[in-house]
DNA sequence: CGCTGTACGGTACACCGTACGGCATGGTCC
DNA sequence: GGACCATGCCGTACGGTGTACCGTACAGCG
């Protein structure tokens, strides 16, 4: 009675994987139930046998993307080196599926695969000497900075972003914006690129170091 | 010949303001051209006389939201106090229209109204002794952190977010996630709230201070 | 064989953004 | 005054979306 009389032809994972492929290839708004069903050679409404609604599917897609995450596994080095490595891994993971960043903003994902890096980072921070609460806060800062960095870089190609910024800044009234007017090039350089990420990361790690050295 | 034979009944600003009201009241996806036109007592296609398409309208909405920004004007204090004040102003401005955060991610806004705070922050950083490039990078770090903080808080009520996190973390396999399992409460506390924002802000400012003290 | 629980998918509905073209208006010119 | 016409307005229509509803066809069981 509880045995299925017909076995499904697909699985949730297969559907989510196909959806992820579609999103990576053509962007988030190219993912419609009809298009996905067509690509799977299946009727549109069949998908609703696997997922309650599109939100349910999107959650599974984000999950699938988090699952292909890299090997955060290599350990070694002091806390600073470990955290830098984890921040880079997080950034790389996010940039591998840029379209999904805005989805992750809506509902944070808390699956084991996504929390592996968190576990390691928290371990490094505790080992460095922070309290549990300070470690959690420091990790959160690193996480938010990294996420913000990727989210803002995902708007377009680096050169395109920089070009727009240069144009807009150059046309500001110089008497009202003297500093920006003199710093157009420097501002444009921060809009994306490894050096900006590195700088902010070092800044945050310096902040942690300062807290560690401070007498408590 | 170039004189209009009929004067428009509305203005771009009025339409954008109404759209902003709709978004603030019911969320981003409640904003449709039909609903907006209905609320304005006007035919749907009339809106296309004011805006080329919906993207154009959305840009104007973001602009309108940035325009109602507060008085960042009060100066005084050292660079640390000034930057802290500006970061808080940015956060408050973003949280006043949470639905627009994801729009600003797609296309950064570079209007004078939005760049007023940037001008002041850059001024404070240069006055503190940073080079133009380091000042731009440091500002960018602060900006990205603040933006990430608001973007992630906008998912739901703080208590709701914390509750979900507590549940998910508590169900992790303890042998694989010993640190997280012991830090559930501390992790949950960082998901929103003033204290987390304050901590990350102080951490970034400490990082700037460390750079200032470092021999270059 | 017939029964029944299940996977499948066609059709339909409400809604979306927007292209097109007709209409009423009121200022300009003869 | 009358004709003209640029202009703002907007009804209709097209192709798309997510998904509710319901009929159908099949696999395993008695």
User: Which pair of tokens denotes residue B99?
Assistant: 């639905």
* Contact between B86 and B120 (Cβ < 8 Å): yes
Q: Is the pLDDT of residue B4 over 50?
A: yes
Q: Which residues of B touch A186 (CB under 8 A)?
A: 132-133, 135-136
Contact A13, A64 (CB under 8 A): yes
For the segment B73-97, the average pLDDT, to the nearest whole number, is 91
Q: Rounded mean pLDDT of B19-46? A: 96
Over 50: is that where the pLDDT of B197 sits?
yes
Q: Summarize chain A as % helix, strand, coil (round to 5).
A: 70, 0, 30
Between CA A91 and CA A194 the distance in angstroms is 11
Residue contact B210–A205, C-beta within 8 A: no
What average pLDDT does this structure show over A161-189? Answer: 93
Residue A1 confidence class, pLDDT cut points 50, 70, 90: very low
Distance separating the N- and C-terminal Cα atoms of chain B: 66
Q: Å between B26 CA and C21 C1'?
A: 34
Return the minimum-mean-pLDDT range out of A24-38, A40-54, A60-74, B36-50: A60-74
Nucleotide nearest to B54 (CA to C1'): C17
In angstroms, the CA of B11 and the C1' of D2 are apart by 34
Q: Give the tens place of pLDDT for each residue, A78-109.
A: 999 999 999 999 999 999 999 999 898 888 88
pLDDT score recorded for residue A112 = 86
Asked whether strand C has any atom less than 7 Å from the CB of A46, the reply is yes
Q: Which nucleotide is nearest to B50 (CA to C1')?
A: D8
Model confidence at A10, pLDDT cuts 50, 70, 90, reads confident
Mean pLDDT for all residues in chain A = 91
3-state secondary structure of B160: helix
Q: Report the candidate in A106, A186, A194 with the shortest Cα–Cα distance to residue A150.
A: A194
Using a CB–CB cutoff of 8 Å, tell me whether B208 touches chain A: yes
Mutate to test the interface with B, among A148, A165, A198 (most CBs of B within 10 A): A148
Span CA (A201) to C1' (C10), Å: 55
The tens digit of pLDDT for each residue in A115-137 reads 999 999 999 999 999 999 999 99
Q: CB distance from A71 to chain B under 8 Å?
A: no
pLDDT of residue A71: 62
Is the predicted pLDDT of residue A149 greater than 80, yes or no? yes
Partner-chain residue, chosen from B110, B139, B145, that has the shortest CB–CB distance to A141: B145
Phi, psi of A196 (to 5 degrees): -65, -45
């Amino acid at each position: 009675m509880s045995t299925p009389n017909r076995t499904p032809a697909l699985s949730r994972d297969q559907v989510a994987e196909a959806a992820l492929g579609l999103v990576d290839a053509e962007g988030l708004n190219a993912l419609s139930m009809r298009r996905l069903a067509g690509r799977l050679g299946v009727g549109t409404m069949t998908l609703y046998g696997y997922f309650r609604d599109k939100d349910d599917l999107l959650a599974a897609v984000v999950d699938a993307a988090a699952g292909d995450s890299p090997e955060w596994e290599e350990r070694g080095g002091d806390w600073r080196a470990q955290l830098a490595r984890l921040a880079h891994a997080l950034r790389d993971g996010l940039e591998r599926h840029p379209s999904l960043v805005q989805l992750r903003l809506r509902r944070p994902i808390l699956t084991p695969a996504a929390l592996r890096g968190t576990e390691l980072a928290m371990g490094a921070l505790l080992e460095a000497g922070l309290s549990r609460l300070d470690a959690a806060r420091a990790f959160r800062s690193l996480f938010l900075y990294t996420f913000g960095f990727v989210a803002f870089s995902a708007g377009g190609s680096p050169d395109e972003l920089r070009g727009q910024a240069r144009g807009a800044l150059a046309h500001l009234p110089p008497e009202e914006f003297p500093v920006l007017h003199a710093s157009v090039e420097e501002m444009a350089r921060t809009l994306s690129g490894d050096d900006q990420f590195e700088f902010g990361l070092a800044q945050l790690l310096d902040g942690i170091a300062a807290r560690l050295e401070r007498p408590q």
